[in-house]
Amino acid sequence: MLENVRVVLVNTTHPGNIGGVARAMKNMGLHELCLVAPKEFPSEVADARASGALDVLGDAVVVPDIAEAIADCQLVVGTSARERHIPWPIVNPREMAAIVAPSKQKVAILFGREDRGLTNEELHLCHHHVHIPSVEGFSSLNIAAAVQVIAYELRMAELYPENLEQERPKWGTDWDIELADHQELERMFVHLEETLVDIEFLDPENPRQLMPRLRRLFMRAVPDKVEVNVMRGILKAVQKKLK
């Protein structure tokens, strides 16, 4: 069940929250937990808060950075308690579950730091942002509570697929070519940025929001492996002509 879903916690400060997340996950049938540079882990406090979910904690993988946590994922979802500078495709937890639960893709769902959430840069690694529609002015849930809401919707989507909206993106369910994963997309973005500097379209001294905007454009399209290769081929040809 929901084996394609990886919960990623970024720089979690309180080990108790990690335990709370593990418990929330196990209750809803999620198992794969990845911790990006947690402040304190393993921890007895985490174990205590996890109650019976010690297996989730025991199998949790600790990595130094987000890139490693999501390298093999074709779909990346970021959670956010508030609106950010550049708006991104945003869904509520139910809409997210309708996309994620039936997907055969490897999916990462990112959760941010207790005090300041995910950075804009981290949010720009994502295809979708999911916001739990809390009240304005007091919008941020405890991280384990946020994981609970998201995991519950995934569980409901898994148990009652007949309740899912008919209209949902086909990406990743019936596509002829495998979707590009995070690592392949990142290589394309690095190559794109390089080329834009080479042709003097992008001024590295004054990049503005060009790369985030281009990122958003490509992430919205959810490119497959062949499309990414074609893009890289074009960039290579441009760079070759310049020489």
Q: Which residues bind ligand SAH (CB under 6 A)?
A: 79-82, 111-112, 114, 116-118, 130-132, 134, 139-141, 143, 146
Token pair listed for 52: 């019976």
How many whole angstroms separate alpha carbon 43 and alpha carbon 46?
5
Q: Which is nearer to ligand SAH, 87 or 204 (CB)?
A: 87
CB of 132 to ligand SAH, least distance (A): 3
Give the residue closest to ligand SAH by C-beta.
117
CB of 8 to ligand SAH, least distance (A): 10
Q: Which is nearer to ligand SAH, 82 or 213 (CB)?
A: 82
CB of 105 to ligand SAH, least distance (A): 21
Q: Which is nearer to ligand SAH, 140 or 229 (CB)?
A: 140
- On whether the CB atoms of residues 99 and 150 are closer than 8 A, the answer is no
How many whole angstroms separate alpha carbon 146 and alpha carbon 131?
10
Q: Which is nearer to ligand SAH, 84 or 225 (CB)?
A: 84
- On whether the CB atoms of residues 223 and 180 are closer than 8 A, the answer is yes
Q: Which is nearer to ligand SAH, 155 or 184 (CB)?
A: 155
CB of 188 to ligand SAH, least distance (A): 27
Sheet-wide strand order for 128-130: 61-63, 32-36, 5-10, 107-111, 75-79, 128-130, 90-91
Task: Return phi, psi of residue 143, to 5°.
Answer: -60, -40
Q: What stretches of the chain show up as alpha helix (H) in DSSP?
A: 15-27, 44-50, 54-59, 66-70, 93-100, 120-123, 143-159, 182-198, 210-221, 225-242
CB of 130 to ligand SAH, least distance (A): 6
